[in-house]
Amino acid sequence: MKIAILGSGGREHAIALQISKSKKLRKLYCIPGNAGTSLISKNINLKLDSFNEIYNFLKDKEIDLVIVGPEKPLVDGMVDYLNKKNIKVFGPNQKVSRLEGSKIFTKKICEKYSIPTANFGIFKNKEDTFKFLQNRKMPLVIKADGLAAGKGVYICNDMESSKNAVSEIFNGKFGKADQILVEEFLEGDEMSYFIISDGLSYKSFNTAQDHKRVGEGDTGKNTGGMGAYSPSKLINHDLEKKIISKIIKPTLEAIEDMEQKYNGFLYAGLMIKDDEPYLIEYNVRMGDPECQTILPLLKTDLLDLIIACCNNNLKEQNIDWHEKKSLCIVLCSKGYPESYKKNIEIPNLKNLELNKNNFIYHAGTKISDDTIHAVGGRVLNFVSISDNYLDSRNEVIDQIKKLNWKNGFYRSDIGYKVIDK
């Protein structure tokens, strides 16, 4: 088959590597891809908001199936657009992508279908929100409704920071804001739970825990993700049963009631408190770096699963996993998540020797004249799988030290909640 993957991050490189191993693959394209994907597929330099140009390329090359990696094209309706043109796509349509595109949409579903989540209020202007904030117990969580690249969530400990968050959101920091979401702060441990769905049935697609803060000990600014480990330490049979019956099933029922189907990965960001799951948010795609962390554990051919989803026969597929512990550390450019230098060479990358349990997935990289340069904040994802999290982390740190990239930094404590020393 001829396959095209949309996206340019570590998640898309990880998907591309997995697909490149499939016997069913004849030709693989990444749009636009990165330096890593250029080594295993052909990169096509098109913008993801140019639906028409992408369609022309897909038609010209007679692409059989498209896999959409990031949320933006899903929320913007790429799947609907390509389906109308009779191109098979793995990913949810625009209506159901609102699960990520609008936090308020998801909260309303939680309310209607009794899905456990933080108590919340929705407000239409600053004045009403400020009134509500009077005499509230802190911390409070204040959220912009739409996509905000992980930046539209404020955890506020006092009135001043709460008012500041409300003002920033209504002043348009994350685009035009007609509404704002204020939530109770949930204590507990976070976990990412994934499913893959063809619209008729779904299967669990493993769990992970990511580390979003830039600094050791989960301190400092929020980032796209500094590392992750999989599986989550929290998951067990009873908890999974609760996640499915209290969160996943009612959500899929809501989608059915909308007369829609969910095709693709669905990522539930959960807070676990006293063995009970609460939904924090949905994402309508794999996580990044959770995807890079989970996929090395997958034994089953990923392309078979994706084809099954597009043909509505996921039910017939088994999904098998290696019983190993996976850990990913993201190597970033110094300065990230604030400003950082671009076009910095990464000289030693080609000299690293990887065994079958080690992986390097590119994110913000580009190749020119056979030299790899960093062009983004999150640059490379180092992943290792082994029998325990500590060995995986040691192996990853060993590799990063061997690379010895002077412009990079990373968190050496990824997985500290599951590693004693």
List interacting residues with ligand GLY (CB under 6 A).
150, 210, 225, 283, 287-288, 290
- Alpha carbon distance 389, 213 (integer Å): 20
Footprint of ligand AMP on residues 134-173 (CB under 6 A)?
A: 141, 150, 153
| Residue whose CB is less far from ligand GLY, 11 or 88 | 11
Q: Quote the least distance from Cβ 269 to ligand AMP, whole Å.
A: 5
Interaction partner, residue 210 (ligand AMP, ligand GLY, none; CB < 5-8 Å by kind): ligand GLY
Buried b (16+ CB within 10 A) or exposed e, 319-334: bebeebbbbbbbbbbe
| Residue whose CB is less far from ligand AMP, 282 or 359 | 282
Q: Which stretch binds ligand AMP (CB under 6 A): 162-170, 183-191, 310-318, 344-352?
A: 183-191
CB 389 within 8 A of CB 327: yes
Query: Comparing C-alpha atoms, which of 245, 284, 286, 278 is closest to residue 110?
Result: 278
List the x/- string, 277-316, binding to ligand AMP by CB under 6 A.
---xx-----------------------------------
Q: How far is CA 91 from CA 86, 282, 302, 368, in A?
A: 15, 14, 14, 31
Q: Which stretch binds ligand AMP (CB under 6 A): 104-112, 123-131, 181-189, 229-237?
A: 181-189
| Residue whose CB is less far from ligand AMP, 88 or 98 | 98
Interaction partner, residue 290 (ligand GLY, ligand AMP, none; CB < 5-8 Å by kind): ligand GLY
Q: Quote the least distance from Cβ 348 to ligand GLY, whole Å.
A: 27
| Residue whose CB is less far from ligand GLY, 41 or 283 | 283
Q: Quote the least distance from Cβ 379 to ligand GLY, whole Å.
A: 16
295: phi then psi, degrees, rounded to nearest 5: -60, -35
- Alpha carbon distance 231, 225 (integer Å): 16
Q: Which residues, including other chains, have CB under 8 Å from residue 255's CB and lie 6 or more apart?
A: 96, 261, 262
Q: Quote the least distance from Cβ 150 to ligand GLY, whole Å.
A: 6
Buried b (16+ CB within 10 A) or exposed e, 88-126: bbbbbbbbbbbbbbbbbbbbebbeebebbbbebbebeeb
Footprint of ligand AMP on residues 86-125 (CB under 6 A)?
A: 118
**Peptide bond just before 139 cis, omega within 30 deg:** yes
CB 410 within 8 A of CB 329: yes
| Phi-psi category of residue 233: left, alpha or beta, with phi > 0 → left and psi -120 to 50 → alpha | alpha
Q: Which residues, including other chains, have CB under 8 Å from residue 126's CB and lie 6 or more apart?
A: 166, 167, 170
Give how many residues touch ligand AMP by CB under 6 A: 12
Interaction partner, residue 87 (ligand AMP, ligand GLY, none; CB < 5-8 Å by kind): none
Interaction partner, residue 287 (ligand AMP, ligand GLY, none; CB < 5-8 Å by kind): ligand GLY
190: contact with ligand AMP by CB under 6 A: yes
Helices 103-112 and 94-101: crossing angle, nearest 10°?
A: 100
- List residues near ligand AMP by CB under 6 A: 118, 141, 150, 153, 183, 185-186, 190, 212, 269, 280-281
